[in-house]
Structures are given as C-alpha cells and as structure tokens.
Amino acid sequence: MSACPVHDGDVQAARWRKQWLLEEGVAYLNHGSVGLSPRPVLDAWTGWIRRIDRQRLGFIRREANAALGEAYLRLGSFLGTSADRLAFTTSTTMAMLSVARSFPLEPGDEVLINDHEYWSVIEIWQRACNEAGAKLVVASIPVPVNDQDTLADTVFAGASERTKLVIFSHVTYRTSMVMPAEVICRRAHEAGIAVLVDGAHALVQCPVDIDSLECDFYVASCHKWLCAPAGTGFLWVHPRMQTVMKPLTGARRGTWRDAAFTGTEDHSRYLAVPAAIDFIESAGLDDFRRRSHELARYARERITRLTGIEPWYEDSSQWYASMAACELPLLDERALQDALWKDFTIEAYINRWNGRSLVRVSCHLYTQAAEIDRLVDALVKSGIGRPRA
Ligand SMILES: Cc1ncc(COP(=O)(O)O)c(C=O)c1O
C-alpha cells in the first residue's frame, strides 16, 4: 500500500503516542472498549492519591467536597451543563443502574430500547421492568440505514401510549453509529416520553452539550475517549427528575446524588477528570475529531475494499466519528480477536451483532494509519478477503 495523505499525520501521532505508556510494537485499536490515560492524567491522578493519603479521613471530611466541587464545575463546563446536575459514579453501568433503580415504573408501563444498545444496559432494564411488572420493548433498527429521519423513526417504532422512557446510545457500541440525539430527544418530548441517553462513547468523539439536548438523564464514562482514570463515570439528571432519584443503597444523606452513593469512594480518580479534560483540550477538540474521523474513514475504506461488503451507513461524520465498524464474513470472533493479539500484537474489537461479524477500529490521538495497514494485513493473513488493487 503506497502512502496516502492520511499517513502524513503519523509523525504527529507518533509524538502523541509518547504521552502514553503504550508498549512498543502494540497497535492499540480498541480505545473504545477500554481507554488509556496519558502521562499528565496519570501524574494528576497519582498526585491526588498522595495528597489524599497524607490523611485520608481529614481529606474526606474537610477537603473532598470543595475538591469535587471544582471537578464537577470543570466537567460541567466541558459538557455544557452545570455542576449541580452531575454525580460521579464508577461507570456508565452504575449510573444506568441508579436510574433503573429510581425511575418510577408501574405495572403495564413500557420502556423502549433498541437492538444496538449495550448488552448490560438491556439486562439492567429488563430486570427493572420485570420487577415493576413493566415491559421492555426492544425495537429493531435494521441496517443498512442511510437516512437520519428513518433512523429516528425506527427508534420510536415500538412506542405506544404506555411508553414511559426511551433509552438510546449517543454513539452505538458495536455498530459505531452516531445517533441523531437532538432529534430523538425532541421527539420523545413531543410524545411525553422521558429520555435517557447512554453517552459512554460520545464524550470527545462528538460535541456533547447536555443541557441543549433537553434529555432527562445522561450517563457516560470519562475513562473511555476522555482518557480519565478507570472508574470515572457520571450520572446527569435534569432538575425535573432529581426528585425521583432514590439512593442506590437505600442510605440517604440528603441530596439527589445519594442515588449514586456506593460507600467509601476513591476520590482520586474523579479529581483527575479535569486533567483529562485539559489534556484533550490541549490537543484541540476539532483537530482530534477531524484526524480521528479521517483515520476511521481510512480503516472503513480499506476493510470494505478487502471484504467487498458494503458499509451499513453513509460515509460521513454525521454517521460515524472516531470509530469504524465494518462487517466481516461470518467467523469466530473470539478466535480472530485472540489471534490478532497473539500473532500480530494488535488490539481490535471483533464482535457479533444480530448474527453478523464486525471489526471495530477505534482511532485516538496516538493512532497511526500504518497501524490500520497492519490490521488489514493481519486480516488478510487470517484468511479474510483479498486485497484489491
Ligand atoms: C454504549 C455503552 N454503554 C455502556 C457501557 C458500559 O460502560 P462502563 O464499562 O464504563 O460501565 C459501554 C462500554 O463499552 C458502552 O459501550
């Protein structure tokens, strides 16, 4: 493969890579599953660990609230919202659980979700519905889909007058689709349905301005694309819904944030979130999005040429951002993912969605086009497709 303009960015990516502890020779194309923190974030985090451990009790009693308040302010301004709507959680999963434990469901009510949602999210809501005597309706969003209005329509295809809540991902995890979040939230409001957005993948990949979405709940993880330490999720609740929030543990201390309280916390991770925001902003969010999309597009183009299988949606940043998901011939996903690591030191997410195999390529600041070339070569050596001229 001769070098093309997308390779020109590899020199800069190699410089960025030095900010991470990534091992030499590893092509880490799965930042979407598990993010990695760069050195300045690790430094900030370990700095907080040391500061807290000088006197852990004293910190919790006398300093934590003010320090966390600053972190909430910084996260809030990054996300277009105010600090008092945010509560740190260890993950998107825990934030989702808090909402599922609190959202008022009556027998006969319906919760609407779709078949692109994260597996544990579907399980959490299945259980919440079972316990309340409500019904979880899983709408099917077929692919290919090339029209955003059609996409929004299919999200609501299973809605009825009993639907109380609609749940969707801002960016879907297996199929890597950017969902028309504003349109879906607006339609939910018009229909009098509350809306919960799963933003696990959206932070950094897409501009996220939560207040303007006018959703009821937004949950996400800072440890993915934002590169904060592992264990940094958050729950955002609109003031109109804060009164419905119940403490996850049953232990009440007095604010809606009890909904996310799980006992003694490691505050150091949350306090390093502002450093992660500083880091990503130092790279320039527009530059990040332009370059990571250019790489995702390159991956999509090369893999499509290899397999001959048409992509599932349009080639546009309106449809996908920093991750490319491409269908592969049906195969043993686990075996291929393991072989990519063992034989080629490549981390990529090979998965199955609705009976179809997919490879998902995540592109971050440190990603080089040459690593995508390595992935394509590895796919060829693993028996997939034939490279076309
Ligand atoms: C869309 C989506 N929601 C939720 C999660 C769970 O995130 P966490 O492991 O941070 O709880 C993931 C993880 O990949 C995800 O992709």
Of all atoms in ligand 1, which is nearest to the CA of residue 173?
A: 16
pLDDT at 388 over 60: no
Q: What is the pLDDT of residue 144?
A: 94
Residues within 6 Å of ligand 1 by CB:
33, 91-93, 118, 121, 169, 173, 198, 200-201, 221, 233
pLDDT at 308 over 60: yes
Q: What is the pLDDT of residue 121?
A: 98
User: In angstroms, what is the span from residue 171 Cα to ligand 1's centroid?
Assistant: 11
pLDDT at 253 over 90: no
C-alpha 234 chain-centroid distance = 12
**Contact assessment for residue 374 and residue 341, using Cβ atoms and an 8 Å cutoff:** no
Q: What is the pLDDT of residue 364?
A: 98
Q: What is the pLDDT of residue 36?
A: 97
Three-state SS string across 309-322, please? CCCCCCCCCCCCCC
**Contact assessment for residue 7 and residue 369, using Cβ atoms and an 8 Å cutoff:** yes
How many other β-carbons are positioned within 10 Å of the β-carbon of residue 294? 17
C-alpha 36 chain-centroid distance = 14
User: In angstroms, what is the span from residue 328 Cα to ligand 1's centroid?
Assistant: 23
Q: What is the pLDDT of residue 3?
A: 61
Question: What is the tens place of the pLDDT at every residue in 78-107?
Answer: 999 999 999 999 999 999 999 999 999 999
Mean pLDDT of 31-53: 97
Average pLDDT value over all residues in the chain: 96
pLDDT at 26 over 60: yes
Q: What is the pLDDT of residue 105?
A: 98
Closest CA to 365 of 13, 111, 50: 13
pLDDT at 289 over 90: yes
Question: What is the tens place of the pLDDT at every residue in 335-374?
Answer: 999 999 999 999 999 999 999 999 999 999 999 999 999 9
CATH of the structural domain 5-30+284-381, one choice from 3.30.70.1290, 3.10.180.10, 1.20.1630.10, 3.90.1150.10: 3.90.1150.10
User: In angstroms, what is the span from residue 58 Cα to ligand 1's centroid?
Assistant: 34
CATH class of 42-278: alpha beta
**Contact assessment for residue 84 and residue 256, using Cβ atoms and an 8 Å cutoff:** no
Of all atoms in ligand 1, which is nearest to the CA of residue 172?
A: 1
User: In angstroms, what is the span from residue 5 Cα to ligand 1's centroid?
Assistant: 33
How many other β-carbons are positioned within 10 Å of the β-carbon of residue 63? 14
Taking the domains of the chain in order of start, what are their residue ranges?
A: 5-30+284-381, 42-278
Q: What percent of the chain has pLDDT over 70?
A: 98
Tokens in use for 184?
A: 């879906």
Mean pLDDT of 139-159: 93
Q: What is the pLDDT of residue 27?
A: 98
Mean pLDDT of 145-160: 93
**Contact assessment for residue 203 and residue 80, using Cβ atoms and an 8 Å cutoff:** no
pTM: 0.97
Q: How far from 302 is each of 12, 34, 321, 362, 384, CA to CA, in Å?
A: 22, 24, 17, 14, 12
Tokens in use for 72?
A: 């909430």
